[in-house]
């Protein structure tokens, strides 16, 4: 297109990794006009970040892709450790973990990042939106009414909002001029890549350690390849040598000491250096940042892809309400309010985990299971969107917390889970008890299009085993409002509190 052609869209997303794709799905399923562009000429096939955490599986269930992720990846891969060439043990840290009524996913999934992106692209296409590969945003300008983005081919795009999901080297972030505070530690680095290794079993994540270092081979599900991880070879000045298949082989032979194994068919070779950085702002006017464009950190714990997906899940419903005119732009302030503290927590946790990994490899019998991260996505109790509770038990559940799952029966007596009911772009109102059934119906009618509503033990759903009441800390009649990103918005008895909350969303002002 030429410079005199101006496309107009509600939201332009720059970057089609897991973060950008998740955001595009969240917007498209709410009827928001969205374009998603990526500078790369074609999708990559690199394992990169290779773990989906349980909370992220809940997010992906809401997007409609968790079954595809579980079918592609694996949840059961033990760590097999060796020291000085000798087998030490197999460990399966979560072997005894079981799903619970309020948390259906007891463990994460090992899956290549490229596979996650492929699943998300397929889901996005089901909403009629395709990634525009080989499309680079060279710059943008914003004013009071929107953002004009300039593409490398000469096209201009006019968007209501622009979201930079373009990674750690984000051009969008640099153009905004926001700070990217933190540290870089080039002396701490590792080489990673995808290779084939015939003769190594694919039933475990192999981890060979010596007093000088270690090497790991992780079989990637659905492929013939392993992800290779190790400390780099250094030149005479102590700088990492460029990664190559030959250097990978030398590193493997040095630490694994397994004769006759040849690494072949490399599809990805990279040097990864420790960077611990985050922005001081995630929104400047009509331009927002998400994922690695807003925060980068050590890879231990698999937090990067998960944090980015959860950024997008938090932002998507808010941006959709603003883009469709159902909420004031002030609602977008809560994105930064809620996600910046999570980014800071992630930086602290992942840095600590990386240090533990470096320490662990010095001792036989230890390994990367120490790098398992604590649960993510537990909630935003500090948020302006967390209304004071006027019912329920605060030691069980508070506004801002992650909304628990629970098995119920529907009106026909068939089994159904709350998460299945929440898989809807709107707020969800649960009315516990027949006493509130009439109020639930009125609220649904008054706020049609913004909420869906169900009466529990009074018509729509039956809490036949009491799991829902226990999970939500409810003993008597109660109204529970669940945000579109499946966090508790409000715990109340008075229907007027629900109305007041929804009216505040529509013209958002921070709580006093």
In the chain, % of residues over pLDDT 90: 76
Question: Which range (91-100, 327-336, 464-473) has the least confidence?
Answer: 91-100
At 106-147, the pLDDT tens digits run 999 999 999 999 999 999 999 999 999 999 999 999 999 999
Contact assessment for residue 173 and residue 21, using Cβ atoms and an 8 Å cutoff: no
Residue 118, H or E segment: helix 113-125
Determine the distance from the C-alpha atom of residue 113 to the mean position of all C-alpha atoms in its chain, rounded to a whole number: 12
At 300-340, the pLDDT tens digits run 656 789 999 999 999 999 999 999 999 999 999 999 999 98
pLDDT score at 364: 47
pLDDT score at 6: 80
At 198-255, the pLDDT tens digits run 999 999 999 999 998 999 999 999 999 999 999 999 888 888 889 999 999 999 999 9
DSSP 206: E
Return d(Cα 387, Cα 398) in angstroms, integer.
Answer: 9
pLDDT band per the 50, 70, 90 thresholds, residue 2: very low
CA distances for 25 relative to 54, 77, 108, 157, 290, angstroms: 20, 30, 22, 20, 15
The two three-digit tokens of residue 405, written as one number = 């799952």
**Residue 377: left if φ>0, alpha if ψ -120 to 50, beta else—which one?**
left
Burial class from Cβ neighbours inside 10 Å (0-12, 13-18, 19+) for residue 329 reads: middle
**Strand positions, DSSP E, 201-354:** 205-210, 213-219, 226-230, 263-279, 283-284, 287-289, 295-296
Q: What is the pTM of this model?
A: 0.93
pLDDT band per the 50, 70, 90 thresholds, residue 13: very high
b/e map 238-253, b = 16+ CB within 10 Å: eebeebebebbbebbe
> What domains appear along the chain, each with residue ranges and CATH number?
6-73+107-180+277-371 (3.50.50.60), 183-274 (3.30.9.10), 407-506 (3.40.30.20)
């Amino acid at each position: 297109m030429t410079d005199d052609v101006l496309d107009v869209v509600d939201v332009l997303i720059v970057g089609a990794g897991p973060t950008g794709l998740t955001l595009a799905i969240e917007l498209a399923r709410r009827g928001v006009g969205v374009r998603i562009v990526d500078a790369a000429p074609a999708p990559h096939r690199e394992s990169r970040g290779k773990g989906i955490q349980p909370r992220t599986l809940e997010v992906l269930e809401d997007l409609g892709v968790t079954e595809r992720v579980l079918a592609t990846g694996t949840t059961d891969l033990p760590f097999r450790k060796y020291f000085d060439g000798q087998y030490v043990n197999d460990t399966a840290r979560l072997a005894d973990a079981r799903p619970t009524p309020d948390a259906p996913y007891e463990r994460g999934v090992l899956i290549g990042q490229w596979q996650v992106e492929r699943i998300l692209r397929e889901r996005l296409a089901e909403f009629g939106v395709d990634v525009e590969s080989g499309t680079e945003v060279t710059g943008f300008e914003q004013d009071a009414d929107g953002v004009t983005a300039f593409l490398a081919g000469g096209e201009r795009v006019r968007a209501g909002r622009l979201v930079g999901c373009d990674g750690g080297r984000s051009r969008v972030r640099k153009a905004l001029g926001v700070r990217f505070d933190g540290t870089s530690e080039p002396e701490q680095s590792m080489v990673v890549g995808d290779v084939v290794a015939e003769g190594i079993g694919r039933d475990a994540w192999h981890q060979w350690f010596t007093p000088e270092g270690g090497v790991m081979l992780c079989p990637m599900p659905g492929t013939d390849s392993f992800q290779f991880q190790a400390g780099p070879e250094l030149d005479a000045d102590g700088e990492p040598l460029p990664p190559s298949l030959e250097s990978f082989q030398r590193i493997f032979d040095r630490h694994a000491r397994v004769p006759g194994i040849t690494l072949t068919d490399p599809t990805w070779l990279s040097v990864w250096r420790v960077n611990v950085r985050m922005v001081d702002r995630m929104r400047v006017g009509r331009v927002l940042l998400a994922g690695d464009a807003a925060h980068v950190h050590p890879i231990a714990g698999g937090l990067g892809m998960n944090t980015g997906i959860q950024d997008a899940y938090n932002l998507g419903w808010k941006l959709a309400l603003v883009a469709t005119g159902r909420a004031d732009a002030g609602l977008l302030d809560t994105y930064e309010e809620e996600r910046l503290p999570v980014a800071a927590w992630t930086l602290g946790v992942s840095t600590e985990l990386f240090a533990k990994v470096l320490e662990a490899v010095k001792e036989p019998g230890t390994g990367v299971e120490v790098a398992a991260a604590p649960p993510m996505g537990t909630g935003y109790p500090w948020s302006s969107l967390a209304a004071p509770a006027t019912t329920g038990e605060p030691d069980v559940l508070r506004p801002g917390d992650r909304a628990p799952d629970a098995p119920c029966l529907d009106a026909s007596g068939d089994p159904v889970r709350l998460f299945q009911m929440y898989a809807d772009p709107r707020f969800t109102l649960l009315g516990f008890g027949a006493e509130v059934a009439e109020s639930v119906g009125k609220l649904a009618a008054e706020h049609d299009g913004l909420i869906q509503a169900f009466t529990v033990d009074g018509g729509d759903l039956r809490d036949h085993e009491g799991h829902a009441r226990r999970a939500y800390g409810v003993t008597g009649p109660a109204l529970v409002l669940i945000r579109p990103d499946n966090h508790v918005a409000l715990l109340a008895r008075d229907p007027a509190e629900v109305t007041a909350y929804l009216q505040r969303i529509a013209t958002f002002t921070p709580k006093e």
